[in-house]
Amino acid sequence: MAQGDTIIRFENVSFGYGHNKPILEDVSFPIRRGAKLTLMGQNGAGKSTIFGLITGAHHPEDGKVHVVQGISIALSRQVIPRADLGLTVREFFEKCFSKKVYDIDPKIEAVLEVVNLHAPLTRVVKSFSGGQQARLLLASALIQDPDVLLLDEPTNNLDKAGIAHLKQFLLDYKKTCIVISHDAEFLNSFTEGVLYLNIYNRKIEQYVGNYFDVVKQISAQIEKENAKNAQLAKEIQANKDKANFFAMKGGQMRMVAKRMRDKVEEMEEAKVDVRKEDRTIRPFTIPSQPELTGEILNISSFTVFRNHKPTERKTKVSLKRKHHLLLSGPNGIGKSTLLESIATGKEKGSTIAPGVRVGYYRQDFSTLNFEDTVYQSLARAIQSVDGRLDEERMRSVAASFLITSDVIYTKIGSLSEGQKGLVAFAQLVLERPGLLILDEPTNHINFRHLPVIAKALDQYEGAMILVSHVPEFVKQIRIDDLLNLEK
């Protein structure tokens, strides 16, 4: 089959999770051999579901997904399934194949070299850092040598070197690749077109061009739609006023008034709903614990990992109110391990002052109970501080993070990764922490929300420790001190 021929085609596909959560309605589009595409859409719109339909993990309610016979497809997921975290590296890669692969070790070592990760094959997956796990996920797709490579948020947790390595790999990649990501610079480096999942009409819109070009096209289209709505609203009001005037005249003027009201109805139907994809979370503040004075956190030593071996380092870090610390270092050096040990009080070299409330944003969202509904999680957060449930305030905070009535009673485990992140931020607002610990808070989050989140962190008045591999995000936040674990 020649380069550019259609290898996957959606034909009038409809899919949803029950009648309350439709994802696609009568969607048709082709995917061509050798294409490098971005799949865009709001958190929770159903981007990962599209991947599930391509791989066959989901089946359409109506229509059909055609895949050319003999085409192999591999998916690199957003996160490693919890059930796989206890596997060794070798066992993790063996699970990628339906049949036993003999002499698999050289293949594993070769693909780990491609993703720039060096580790013994007997090492347990859960012992790797978030960035190293991201590389394992990518390698698990590459080892299958697929015709179609599906990457779901591949840059999450990757450091600068890891992102550069992946970017070059995709530029050199000769086969079909579809990527879901919120990293605009990364996407723009290789994207040739965009599949845009419109959450309002549940259709896929296709655009040609690099990522930034497409974003401009979509913005221009939205401006055009808004201008059309504004003009129609003006005409509707003028016709309503005339209809009311003629109706007051009585007689045959009432027929004129009726025709004008009919025209108003036609114009109302012609209005275009504003795209829900373009909604952004409202500006918010994370209130800090007000009564704290003096030192909130002291760090005198920490552990780093070199060639998978722990080494203790000495330091002098003292955090008080309004003191923001950036923790830096490459993937695998121990940043997440240090944050977790500080948050849980298990770090021998750190001390949190008595009575300090800790707000901890984990990159894997394991501070959230996946069996809770969003309502239960947020209710517990506000009750832990106030001792009672202020439902009006809780719902107001939830709404500011786009957690609406159709989401609030959903189990957290059923949410998209991006929605889990927004729930985690809503929880921090309700907890009013004195010490805020944030591990990669940009992961999975829609790029439109990031400036709003950065401003909230910049203005946070408690003590804060931040880990982030996104320089553009960090630049927007006041940083008072830097602890580089590599030095």
Same domain, 302 and 209: no
* pLDDT reading at 238 higher than 70: yes
Range of the domain at 471: 297-484
* CATH number of residue 174's parent domain: 3.40.50.300
Stretch among 130-134, 306-310, 410-414 having the lowest mean pLDDT: 306-310
Same domain, 193 and 309: no
Same domain, 211 and 332: no
- Residue 80 falls inside a structural domain: no
- Residue 272 falls inside a structural domain: no
**Residue 183: per-residue pLDDT:** 78
Same domain, 211 and 301: no
Residues 6+ apart with CB under 8 A from 181: 38, 151, 153, 154, 155, 187
| Last residue within a domain, chosen from 178, 196, 215 | 215
- Residue 210 falls inside a structural domain: yes
- Residue 13 falls inside a structural domain: yes
Q: For residue 19, what pLDDT band results from cuts at 50, 70 and 90?
A: confident
- List pLDDT tens digits, range 264-274: 777 776 665 55
**Residue 327: per-residue pLDDT:** 94
- Residue 88 falls inside a structural domain: no
Phi-psi region of 443 (alpha: psi -120 to 50; beta: other; left: phi over 0): beta
- List pLDDT tens digits, range 308-340: 788 889 999 999 999 999 999 888 888 988 999
Scanning the structure block, which residue is given the tokens 């989050």? 445
Q: How many domains does the chain have?
A: 2
| Last residue within a domain, chosen from 167, 198, 215 | 215
Same domain, 187 and 321: no
* pLDDT reading at 276 higher than 50: no
* Whole-number average pLDDT of the chain: 88
How many residues does this entry show for the chain?
A: 487
Same domain, 334 and 451: yes
Mean pLDDT of 368-382: 95
**Whose CA is closest to 444, among 45, 135, 96?**
45
Positive/negative CA dihedral, 459, 473, 304, 90: positive
Same domain, 182 and 304: no
**Residue 158: per-residue pLDDT:** 78
What is the β-pairing status of strands 203-208 and 358-361?
unpaired
- Residue 342 falls inside a structural domain: yes
Long-range contacts of 163-172 (CB under 8 A, 24+ apart): 163/469, 165/115, 165/116, 166/115, 166/138, 169/114, 170/36
Same domain, 304 and 204: no
For residue 62, what are its two tokens?
């109506």
Mean pLDDT of 422-427: 96
Mean pLDDT of 417-432: 94
* pLDDT reading at 378 higher than 90: yes
- Residue 136 falls inside a structural domain: no
241-251 b/e (C-beta count within 10 Å ≥ 16 → b): ebbeebeeeee
| Last residue within a domain, chosen from 166, 184, 215 | 215
Helix (H) or strand (E) holding 399: helix 391-400
- List pLDDT tens digits, range 434-443: 999 999 999 8
Question: What distance lies between CA 135 and its chain's CA centroid?
Answer: 18
Give me the phi and psi of 47, to 5 degrees please. -65, -45
Same domain, 304 and 428: yes
- More confident site: 129 or 408: 408
Same domain, 350 and 452: yes
- Residue 422 falls inside a structural domain: yes
Residues 6+ apart with CB under 8 A from 454: 473, 476, 477
Separation between Cα atoms, residue 377 and residue 380, nearest integer Å: 5
* pLDDT reading at 13 higher than 70: yes
Mean pLDDT of 154-182: 86
Same domain, 315 and 192: no
Same domain, 356 and 210: no
Strands (E), 87-169: 148-152
Question: What distance lies between CA 304 and its chain's CA centroid?
Answer: 28
Q: For residue 1, what pLDDT band results from cuts at 50, 70 and 90?
A: very low
Greatest extent of the chain over all pairs of C-alpha atoms, in Å:
94
* 8 Å CB contact between 141 and 104: no
* pLDDT reading at 197 higher than 70: yes
Q: Is the pTM of this model over 0.75?
A: no
